Amino acid sequence: MPKKPQGSRSVAAMTEITQGVGAGRYAPSPSGDLHIGNLRTAVLAWVFARAEGKRFVLRVEDLDRVKEGAAQRQLTDLAQIGLDWDPPVLLQSERQEVHRAAVVDLSERGLTYECYCTRREIQAEIAAAGGAPHGAPGAYPGTCRNLTAQQREQRRRDRPPAIRLRAQAETATVTDRLAGEVTEAVDDMVLLRNDGRPAYNLAVVLDDTFQGVDQVVRADDLLSSAPRQAHLAHLLGLVQVKYIHVPLVLNTSGQRLAKRDGAVTLGDLRAAGHTTAEVMEWMGRSLGLPSQVACAQDVLDQHTHLRLTDGPWTFTPPSTSSTQPTGP
């Protein structure tokens, strides 16, 4: 199990919940430039927060792959489309001591265990069992949950362990403003990887609380992860956030939009001769707004007309089409 950091504090003390109006947030990973789908989600997160008088904060989730200069370009693009935010911008990597201390807290309560499985071994066990536990794709089957001390000592010789949550429920339920009540399986998620780095699900719930976030707006492909994050937050004694999962932006093949799909970033679209105002106008039409949109403030001004129940928006990069992208 992880060692307790020197001078560690309780989880409640480390989260330092911001009192007052609460906050919405946008938390991109600096693995590359933001595409129009990312920007659309960011605008909606900003609009929902500002429309309710909340603060709006940014977090750079840099625990994984980081592309040099990407974070600054992302901030520049967000400002270019009209977003403002309440400082400071949080770097997730600077909070790893807090993340690890929370795992110590859970471990001392018997809520974690060491796991020695590789991804390939997990996939093979799921396949051999005829499916994942609880019917949840990719859910951990609990291979290492009840190892004896002798078995753990023996396996430690082969590889360092990851630390998993010993989940206290098979399912959890959250209420999403658009999707309603959502119940999903809760498995024994990884909290610390075997290289000691905090895992996403742990970091996100701790950092949301630290930044005073009580409203999470993000793409609906992440909806299934909300119940497991809510379960972890409950075990850590953290305040539950309110969720709004918005429709994705897809490519013409019906897959999640990505940089490889052509001119999809703000920089690419400008290079193709399109202004930021044009990009925002396409975005406004995709959201069903009745009046012209040139910046994020125009979306906020029309937020009562947002149409988010028509499913995903298919974006056709103008460089490969003779017409401008249209809404759902």
pLDDT at 14: 39
What's the average model confidence in pLDDT over 124-147? 75
Distance CA 22, CA 216 (A): 11
For residues 312 and 248, what is the distance between their CA atoms, to the nearest angstrom? 5
Q: What is the pLDDT of residue 124?
A: 84
What are the structure tokens assigned to 217, written together? 């707006």
Write the pLDDT tens digit of every residue in 212-227. Answer: 999 999 999 999 999 9
Q: Quote the CA–CA distance of 85 and 23 in Å, as a whole number.
A: 10
What's the DSSP call for residue 221? Answer: G
Alpha-carbon gap, residue 258 to 4, rounded angstroms:
40
CB 279 within 8 A of CB 252: no
pLDDT in tens, 47-104: 999 999 999 999 999 999 899 999 999 999 999 999 999 999 999 999 999 999 999 9
Q: How far is CA 1 from CA 12, 152, 169, 255, 302, in A?
A: 21, 11, 22, 40, 51
How many other CB atoms are there within 10 angstroms of residue 123's CB atom? 13
Helix/strand/coil for 170: coil
Is the bond leading into 88 cis (omega within 30 degrees of zero)?
yes
3-state secondary structure of 244: strand
Secondary structure (H, E, C), 100-129: HHHHHHHHHCCCEEEECCCHHHHHHHHHHC
Pick from 58, 65, 72, 62: which is nearest to 94 by CA?
Answer: 62
Model pLDDT, residue 5 = 41
Residue ranges and CATH numbers for the domains of the chain are 11-246 (3.40.50.620), 250-320 (no CATH)
CA angle in degrees (0–180, nearest 5) for 57-290-305: 50
Q: Angle 70-80/36-51 helices, nearest 10 degrees?
A: 60
Cβ-based neighbours of 157, under 8 Å, separated by 6 or more? none
Average pLDDT, the chain: 90
Question: Which DSSP symbol is given to 237?
Answer: T
pLDDT of residue 16: 47
- As a whole number of angstroms, the distance between CA 160 and CA 166 comes to 18
Decide if pLDDT at 10 tops 90.
no
Q: Are strands 249-250 and 23-26 parallel, antiparallel or unpaired?
A: unpaired
SS3 225: helix
Give me Rg for the CA atoms of the chain. 21
Predicted TM-score (pTM) of the model is 0.89
Instruction: Please tell me whether residue 234 adopts helix, strand or coil conformation.
Output: helix
